[in-house]
Structure 1
Amino acid sequence: METYAGESFYFKGGRQAVVLLHAYSGNTNDVRMLGRQLQQHGYTVLGPLFTGHGGDFCRIIQEGSTDAWWADTQLTIRRLRDSGINQIAVFGLSLGGLLATRALENDPQLAGGGIFASPITTWGASNVPEYFPRLADRYYRRIKLPVDDEKKKLAWIDQHLPDQLADIQAMAKQLSLHLGQLKKPFFIAQGGQDEMIDPHSGAQLAQQLRAQGTPVDYHFYPNATHLLTVNTAHRQLFADVLDYLHNLFEVSDDKNK
């Protein structure tokens, strides 16, 4: 199934599947290249476009919400199961990682998964409040929106963005309170030059999970910025994800024998 850039994608492969969740204010281009790589190695891959994303940044706030994005995540997993696939891993970038973690905490039937540059324990310390308006401004300039209209939209964003970010932070807090529900091997990737979140957040989460006995596959990319799936670290990240999935599904197959 082919799709236009930025839209939801479904890359058909084998009987083991991976859900890839994109970042806040991003779209499926964040994870599409990883999806193709995984498909080439035999996996079926779904990447949903979160509600409100993929266009006007005001729509992210108007139409999107933590509830809507959680519903998007659940629908994607259900779509795979309805097609007869039961071995499923879930990963997410930044906000997508929060939703992936929520799925893994609430759905024990998932094989595993994890996060790429996702501040499970440090969302309140992120630079998203500063970056979101900049990205919106860049988008409006690119589509050549009239200056007066752009100013109105940016003013509206400044007024309403804090409430949505507070909801995301509240979700992250709930996730951090329920880390004990993570029993399956958990993948963590973090860049050392992350401009959006605390570069130490991944190591902090890994330490917490290991202390409670959760198996952790932690990877640190010293020179990488926030968007690990498309920046200088992406090739190594893809290799690390493939190694993780190979071991994950190998263990899952052994348990099913």
Structure 2
Amino acid sequence: MTCRIAGFLAAFVFLGPGQAVSFSGGQLQATLQDQARAYRLEGLRYQKENNLEQASACYQKAISLNPNFVEAYNDLGILYEANGRLEKAKDMYLRAIEVAPNYPSSYANMALLYEGQGDYINAVLYWIKRATLGGPGDPWADKAQKRLEGIASVYPEAYGKIEARYKANLQKEMLQASPAAAAAVYSDLDSDLYETDYSQSPVTLFEDELSQDQKSLDNRSRAITYLTRAKESYDKGEYVTALKEATVAEYLDSSNKEISSFIEQVRRTLLQ
């Protein structure tokens, strides 16, 4: 589909043989940028009318005229995301970031997209960047800080996984982006939920003299007990308690998909 702009001539005007209107390099660039802006405005109008196909055509036309048109890439990403084409949306947001590394909107959009997919590790990375780009009174910088705090309280191990994956210490960046989130992640007083390194110690809290097979069966049974308690806490609105109980259940029986699914449900609730 071709995007059409009423009353806008998006071509060179020829007066006759050998009489083409001439432009200097700077004039031509300015003309193309003006055309691109006009196509984007038309795309926004179509988008408001929920004519997403025409809006997409206009944004793509704007980009073809101005390959560095960061807002158009971001707009197109939003359309792709609305249509469920998440990988295409990511491509457009990343292209916007490539064109303008300090353009804040695409970082927020990437963070929200990853949160929607349950990928809190990547969400944290983009929220950190969005928080640090905002100035005083920037509502989206404030939102980024709140999201970082929420993820830190619900999924603090995400930060450790980021550090392990990228061999980087996030503490300095976190202190700049959201001091409250940094305190939740790095303060011993606030990390009691996940401070035990279960990978280094057996489940001594629940150990008895049973054989290994019996222990395995017993742990699965205990996992169901903790999951039941977690669901009861959740129904009462005690979401943090529910998360703690479900986390114990998951350790006791890591193969139980119902437990892992329930933990994801609680995390999403806490992040709302």
TM-score by length of 1: 0.24
- TM-score under structure 2 normalisation? 0.23
Q: Which has the higher helix share?
A: 2
More strand by share: 1
RCO higher in structure (CA 8 A, sep ≥6): 1
Question: Highest Rg: 1 or 2?
Answer: 2
